[in-house]
Structure 1
Amino acid sequence: MKHCSAIEPDAAQVIDIGFLCWDGLPLDQLSVGLAYLKAANQLTPDKQVRGSVLSFSGGNVQSACGVNLSTCRIDDFLARCRCLFLVGGAFLAPDQQAHLGRVARTQLRAGRVLGALDTALVPLARTGLLDGQDVAASAQILSALQEQFPQISPRPNDHYVLGTVWSAGAGFALLNLLSKVIGNSCSLQERPQLNRKFLSYRPHFGMCPTCARDAIRADSTFTGNGVVDKAIRLFRDNLEEPLRLTCVAREVGISLRQLERKFVATTGLTPKAFYLEERLEKAHTIVRFTNLALPEVALTCGFGSYATLSQKYKQRFGQTPASERARISISGKEN
């Protein structure tokens, strides 16, 4: 199965954003990026964004967490990518390294945006396209770049968008690059609305439990309400085996009724609805971007059976997981 477009708008005004992926990609970065584009589409339906998950030859690539993602071939999509972000590990096979050089040069010659995320900067540096460039990355990657490519200038920032090639570090620095793209098509009033709306898209779905826990430790504030944020962390730590809301309320030190009032005031959702949304968003990502058997998806996301997941999934996304997999498979064959 091929998962090409994460977002498929019908609107005439479309911004095409491609994510060129290879083995070792950070699934958390990709998942949160796609969620951000989804939030942007709901806010500005007349200015839609289409995100495509791509690779050098199509087929599966494996994330750093060991999850396989289905992709489409970059050469079939490159011409329409206004922005192309490189998302992968630090090592590429020689044929892929050469392919990366061709793709990157084509994107830059066309005057379109090229960005690279942290570990992906290493193979990009081997193409020579970063020579003389300022680059932002995590401390570990900056150290490796300085040692191997002294002609590259390190930046202490978590992202940098002023050079020929945009760059970003670890964590969720990709959002800074995407917000630059989306922000240029939003009004001054829409930008803060998008930032607020994205709070409801919980950036840790689609991650393995270990990565999710690490990211949550690094991101201590989600909504600005300490009690709600603590409850959200409990939700995210327990997607596979959901907690009783009374237990969550007791853990955060308030009554269930107080928890419900705080959640509605802060997020617009009850704790029950928020928790369900967390699990459904995780299921949505797994259905679209992996080949995991659907009964296993149900168990992974805290649903007792596939039938229960299918019912809730259809209510939320307008189709069952099986129907969505079938549609994506047909779309991939057509492309």
Structure 2
Amino acid sequence: MFGTAPRELPQRIAFVLLPRYSMIAFTSAIEPLRAANRLSGKSLYEWHIFTVAGDGVPASNGLIIEPEGDLEAASAFGSVVICTGVDVQKVADKQIISWLRKVDRKGADIGAICTGSHVLAKAGLLDGHRCTIHWENLPAFAEDFPEIEVTSELFEIDRTRFTCAGGTAAIDMMLNVIAMQHGHELAAEVADQFMHERIRDRHDHQRMGLPARLGVRHPKLLSVIQLMEENLEEPLSRSQLAREAGLSTRQLERLFRKYLSRSPARYYLELRLNKARLLLLQTNMSVIDVALACGFVSASHFSKCYRDFFGHTPRKERGVPNTEEMLTPPKSTRGEQPTRH
């Protein structure tokens, strides 16, 4: 079980890099292990880098780390971490899926950072386990794998599976592992070395709170925005939003205009369209299914709203040619005019 005392030291961990992996998530997972070795004066951890074919693959920032070998060379490790990033659905191929199933049969602890949960889910290795994934990929993951328990936690360690949301969440996951295996004192020393103010537990939020994200602290406005974010598939009416916040519809309009320079309807529409874009890019859902998942009643209305906002149709977002779109220029881009819906 990952996080319990290792059977032998150093604990050997294989990091498998897939194309366009997140460099910050990868290094955030390794650096606490390095520091734990240094501060303890012992070889507690040993890490090795692999890729599918044994050649270097670029991270999402374009940098390439030279690996030590291919998947076959990584098969002997008792702990395996899949490192991914953007476009994860394009790198979850048959070879990595087959290999993961093989190391699972051998009893390895298998984890993922950033978007790697998608790869584990595709291999069937998260069935019956809790997992998490980067917040940007969470809606698409839930649509693709509705039977898997995915959370918005910072990280999850569930028996032989461990996943984290990416970015600096990997630091906190590894700090918690160090604390469980070698004591809180060592984990705190490692955090102090990194000027990491505190060791976050898995229940900490992935995202900034709304006040920090929006630069707004008006409590009633924030409560309305939270309601909007929680009700994208079945949007609430303006009067429902106002009533829930204890406002009149006129007061609601004034708050949005004052703090966000747009109407409530426009802000709500933008939330839904941005979610739709993520679903189009990260899933194989049909355009109509994406439309319905984001609160639109028809594909045509969704397509028009999408084109008005992004400057191209949902089909074009996926790289699918659209004859009508090529013949007709977009009527507008991201204008302030609210769209009726």
Taking structure 1 as the reference length, the TM-score comes to: 0.51
Report the residue type matching 1:74 in the other structure: L
What's 2:93 paired with? 97
Please tell me whether residue 130 in structure 1 is matched to residue 112 in structure 2: no
Alpha carbons of structure 1 residues 92 and 78: separation in structure 2 relative to 1, 3 Å: farther
Using the TM superposition, give the Cα deviation of residue 157 of structure 1 relative to its aligned residue in structure 2, in angstroms: 0.7
What's 2:109 paired with? 113
What's 1:247 paired with? none
What's 2:72 paired with? 75
Tell me the C-alpha RMSD between the 2 structures. Answer: 2.5
What's 1:45 paired with? 41
Is the helix fraction higher in 1 or 2?
Answer: 1
Using the TM superposition, give the Cα deviation of residue 36 of structure 1 relative to its aligned residue in structure 2, in angstroms: 1.7
Using the TM superposition, give the Cα deviation of residue 178 of structure 1 relative to its aligned residue in structure 2, in angstroms: 2.0
2:181 and 2:161 map into 1 onto residues whose CA distance is 20
Report the residue type matching 1:73 in the other structure: D
Mapping 1:193-272, distance limit 5 Å: 193-199=189-195
Query: How many percent identity over aligned positions?
Result: 20
Using the TM superposition, give the Cα deviation of residue 188 of structure 1 relative to its aligned residue in structure 2, in angstroms: 4.2
Which has the higher Rg, Structure 1 or Structure 2?
2
1:170 and 1:13 map into 2 onto residues whose CA distance is 27
Is contact 2:89-2:118 (8 Å) kept?
Answer: yes
Secondary structure (helix, strand or coil) at the match of 1:68 reads coil
1:93-138 CA-partner distances (Å, limit 9, x unpaired): 5xx6222223322333333321112322223222222234322122
What's 2:290 paired with? none
Report the residue type matching 2:177 in the other structure: V
1:58 and 1:50 map into 2 onto residues whose CA distance is 19
2:189 and 2:129 map into 1 onto residues whose CA distance is 33
Is contact 1:160-1:167 (8 Å) kept?
Answer: yes
Report the residue type matching 1:43 in the other structure: L
Structure 1's unaligned 5+ residue stretches are 1-11, 201-216, 219-335
Is contact 1:118-1:141 (8 Å) kept?
Answer: no
Q: How many residues are matched?
A: 188
Is contact 1:168-1:174 (8 Å) kept?
Answer: yes
1:157 and 1:188 map into 2 onto residues whose CA distance is 21
2:154 and 2:95 map into 1 onto residues whose CA distance is 27
Alpha carbons of structure 1 residues 39 and 109: separation in structure 2 relative to 1, 3 Å: same
Report the residue type matching 1:121 in the other structure: S
Alpha carbons of structure 1 residues 99 and 180: separation in structure 2 relative to 1, 3 Å: farther
* Structure with bigger RCO (C-alpha 8 Å, 6+ apart): 1
Please tell me whether residue 142 in structure 1 is matched to residue 132 in structure 2: no
Using the TM superposition, give the Cα deviation of residue 32 of structure 1 relative to its aligned residue in structure 2, in angstroms: 2.3
Structure 2's unaligned 5+ residue stretches are 1-7, 197-211, 214-341
Is contact 1:87-1:120 (8 Å) kept?
Answer: yes
What's 1:172 paired with? 168
Secondary structure (helix, strand or coil) at the match of 1:37 reads helix
Using the TM superposition, give the Cα deviation of residue 192 of structure 1 relative to its aligned residue in structure 2, in angstroms: 2.1
1:44 and 1:82 map into 2 onto residues whose CA distance is 22
1:42 and 1:150 map into 2 onto residues whose CA distance is 43
Is contact 1:20-1:55 (8 Å) kept?
Answer: yes
Using the TM superposition, give the Cα deviation of residue 24 of structure 1 relative to its aligned residue in structure 2, in angstroms: 1.2
Secondary structure (helix, strand or coil) at the match of 2:194 reads helix
Is contact 2:97-2:119 (8 Å) kept?
Answer: no
Using the TM superposition, give the Cα deviation of residue 148 of structure 1 relative to its aligned residue in structure 2, in angstroms: 1.1
Secondary structure (helix, strand or coil) at the match of 1:190 reads helix
Please tell me whether residue 61 in structure 1 is matched to residue 44 in structure 2: no
Using the TM superposition, give the Cα deviation of residue 164 of structure 1 relative to its aligned residue in structure 2, in angstroms: 4.1
Taking structure 2 as the reference length, the TM-score comes to: 0.50
What's 2:27 paired with? 31
Secondary structure (helix, strand or coil) at the match of 1:143 reads helix
